[in-house]
Amino acid sequence: MSNLEPVIAARALTKVYRRGPEQVHALDGVSFEIARGEFVAITGASGAGKTTLLNILGCMDAPTSGTLRIGGKEVQSLGEGARTLLRRQHIGFVFQHFGLMPTLTVAENVALPALFARRKVDTRVVELLDRVKLLHRRTHRPHELSGGEMQRVAIARALINQPDLVLADEPTGNLDTATGQSIIDLFQKLNSDGLTIVTVTHNPTMAAAAKRQLVLSDGRLLKNPVGTG
Amino acid sequence: MSLLSLSLNEWRRRPLRNAVTALGVAIALAALFSMLAFHEGYRDGMRGEIDRLGAHVLVVPKGCPYDAASMALHGANWPCYLKSSYFQEVLHTVGVATAAPAFMSALYPSNGLQAVYVGVDERILALRPGWKIEGVFPQRLGELLVGSDIARQQHCHLGESISLPGLAGEKGVISGILKPTHGADDTFIYCRLEDAQTWFRHPAELTHILVRLTDPNALNETVGFLRGCDAGMDMNVVPLAHLFRTIQSLVNSTRLLLGCVALIGLLVAATGVSNSVLMSVAERSREIGVMRAIGASRGDVFRLICLETLLVCFAGAMAGVLLAFVCSRGLESWLRSRLPFAPSDALIRWEWSIAGACVMGALLLGIMAALLPASRAAELSPIEAMREGSRV
């Protein structure tokens, strides 16, 4: 990906679902850009379309119309295989429910995306666990960790394939305030190191910690004119 | 870490369910393995037994030819006899290369062991080229050639004079000891034909005649000549190749039925495996969704579920082969007690090729069982899968 190119460029994205006879406009003409190194929070009330937008940005869903460029590549019409490849190579995910494999150790969980990418990552796993301060827990299983530790493992896992972009869906949603703050701090640290982060959040502290907010209401973007904070 | 270690982790997560599922495969596979091992063992045992007899045709008194063949092969008391004079007619029939007259009788001495006496003359040696005799073939009155098992049990030595088991007051001298033949001969006591006829008070009578043909391909023709000779009406001419085929086909029909049952068992086990893996996929749909989100392709998920299924089937197959091995002795004695005609060789034949074929078959079945759950898992969209209560 070129450094000048925005990591994400969305133009008039719409997503329409059918719910029985009725059509639901989950996204309605959403346009924005996210530059490399930004930390962006997507906020809004429940049902505003935040998670739908995140799923589309993460290439897990396709928009009904509009264009989406990730790292300069148009992705809205990519097939399943190409979208998987894009996710694998360029995007890291952090989930509200952590999404750790209960049968794997901390180190194995971190290394999992690399297995699918057919990469050898032994030293990088150590490096990332050290970065999230969980090296001493490398052989532990998720049920032996606290919520904050699990989320830090999930963050390390999101970084294993050196993505251009990390997408987080309510990363503090399952954590108490103090633990949530430690995750926010970690995101800020990663962002200060140059990582592009887009997070969906209800947490005002998290939203405030982001450099920019995209506020969604009924599928439309309220705030944030393209390219401005 | 590899897909294989991920699959092994899944086994550790639900050990009981996986063990029960694998047990189903193991039981079905043990049944199939035993069937195949029995097929091999019975066929080869029959063939070996008939080969050891050294004859192409057995001439016996009128009656059931299978009973007569069984008696000649395993040793027994015969209920009726042939006249000794028939032997010359048999010997001079066109197509007969050589023939050996025999008089057989079985006794049950007080020690409970069966003593089978077979009176023969030196012509028997032409039919048993494989015999290795320590000492000499009986030539004088009371001389005995004992089978290796008898010699071992009775601690016989060459030249030793012994009381004949079951024949009170009669004595014999060991002139020869047969080296092990791994057949019924090991348990027989051979003596001169005249001695056997005298001891059992059937002078000028035989129990059977072993016949070797000049050309085994002309079996039907020679059998026709034998049946057409003057004595033909009073004796039963049993071509051993036909006997082998008939007994095989009798056993084959039962075996086919049991084979079908074993195969159905295996298919039912495969359905159980498929169902168990489907349940596991349903329970892990969120995990599968996460894997898809973090970069697993549909192919990765498909391979992972296939591997998990194959692991269950492989474990089941190995346990099944082991189970069949452990149960083979019991099964063998049960079969022996049920079969009307069982060769003395092992009925259940342990062959690595059969074990390998069974394991391969189980893996093939595992692939078939994996197809449905693996495709369902691979088709899961990451978003759908990550939603709670996702349906598989």
pLDDT in tens, B6-21: 888 888 888 899 999 9
Q: Supply the pLDDT for residue A121.
A: 82
**And the tokens for B331?**
């099964």
Interface contact flag, B10 A101, Cβ < 8 Å:
no
Q: Do B12 and A103 touch (CB under 8 A)?
A: yes
Q: What is the pTM of this model?
A: 0.74
User: Best mutation site among A115, A119, A153, A161 for testing chain B: the one with the most B CBs within 10 Å?
Assistant: A115
- Greater pLDDT, B348 or B250: B348
Compute the nearest-CA separation of B281 from chain A (Å). 14
Domain that holds residue A154: 36-61+80-215
Interface-testing mutation among B1, B3, B297, with chain A (most A C-beta atoms within 10 A): B1
Q: What is the ipTM of this complex?
A: 0.89
Question: Is the pLDDT score of B338 beyond 90?
Answer: no
pLDDT band per the 50, 70, 90 thresholds, residue B201: very high
Identify the pLDDT of residue B75: 86
| Average pLDDT over all residues of chain A | 89
**Looking at beta carbons, which residues of chain A come within 8 Å of B287?**
99, 101
Confidence of residue A223 (pLDDT cuts 50, 70, 90): low
Sequential DSSP letters for B228-277: HSGGGGGEEEEEHHHHHHHHHHHHHHHHHHHHHHHHHHHHHHHHHHHHHH
Nearest CB to A81: which of B293, B297, B386?
B297
Residue A1 within a domain: no
Say if B308 is an interface residue toward chain A (CB within 8 Å): no
pLDDT of B249-286, one tens digit each?
A: 877 787 788 888 888 988 999 999 999 999 999 998 88
Question: What is the model's pLDDT at position B391?
Answer: 40
CB contact under 8 A, A103 and B386: no
Average pLDDT over chain B, rounded to an integer: 88
Residue A84: the pLDDT is: 92
Q: Does an H or E element contain B34, and which?
A: helix B15-53
How many Å apart are CA B59 and CA B54, to the nearest integer?
13
Shortest Cα distance, chain A CAs vs residue B365, angstroms: 27
pLDDT for res B138: 94
Portion 346-385 of B in contact with A at CB < 8 A: 381-383
B291 and A112 within 8 Å at the Cβ level: the answer is yes
- Quick check: A229 pLDDT over 80? no
Q: Residue B2: is it exposed, middle or buried by C-beta count within 10 angstroms (0-12/13-18/19+)?
A: exposed
Q: Closest-CA residue in chain A for B289? A: A99
The token pair that represents B230 in the structure block: 């003057």
Distance from CA of B271 to the nearest CA of A (A): 26
Does residue B254 belong to the interface with chain A, where contact is any CB pair within 8 Å?
A: no
Rounded (to 5) percent helix, strand, coil in chain A:
35, 25, 40
- Interface A-B: count of C-beta contacts within 8 A: 71
Instruction: Tell me the two tokens of residue B68.
Output: 């007569």
Q: How far apart are CA B38 and CA B343, in angstroms?
A: 12
By CA distance, what is B14's nearest residue in A? Answer: A103
Cross-chain CB nearest to A93 (options B9, B12, B293): B293
Q: What is the pLDDT of residue A159?
A: 92
pLDDT at A226 exceeding the cut of 50: no
Residue A84: inside a domain: yes
Per-residue pLDDT reduced to its tens digit, A49-88: 998 999 999 998 889 999 999 988 888 888 888 999 999 9
The pLDDT of residue B169 is 82
B 1-20: CB under 8 A from A: 1-3, 6, 9-10, 12-13
Nearest Cα to Cα of residue A39 among A224, A223, A217, A207:
A207
Amino acid residing at B170? E
Query: Is B179 an interface residue toward A (CB < 8 Å)?
Result: no
Question: Which residues on B lie below 8 Å from A88 (Cβ)?
Answer: 294-295, 297
Of B102-111, B203-212, B303-312, least confident by mean pLDDT is: B102-111
Q: Please write the tens of the pLDDT for every residue from B218-231.
A: 888 999 999 888 77
The residues spanned by each domain of chain B are 3-49+252-386, 52-245
CB contact under 8 A, A103 and B293: no
Q: Are residues B293 and A111, on separate chains, in Cβ contact within 8 Å?
A: no
The answer to whether residue A167 scores a pLDDT higher than 90 is: yes
Nearest-CA distance from B287 to chain A in Å? 7
pLDDT score at B110:
67
End-to-end alpha-carbon separation of chain B, Å?
27
Phi, psi at A97, each rounded to 5° = -90, 15
Residue A228 falls within a domain, yes or no? no
- pLDDT value of position A227: 41
What percent of chain B has a predicted confidence (pLDDT) above 70?
97
Higher pLDDT, B89 or B112: B89
Residue A121, phi then psi, degrees to nearest 5: -135, 25
Whether A104 and B6 lie within 8 Å, measured CB to CB: yes
Domain count, chain A: 1
Read off the pLDDT of residues B46-87 as tens digits, 9 standing for 90 and up.
Answer: 778 777 778 899 999 988 887 888 888 888 889 899 999 999
User: What pLDDT sits at residue B11?
Assistant: 81
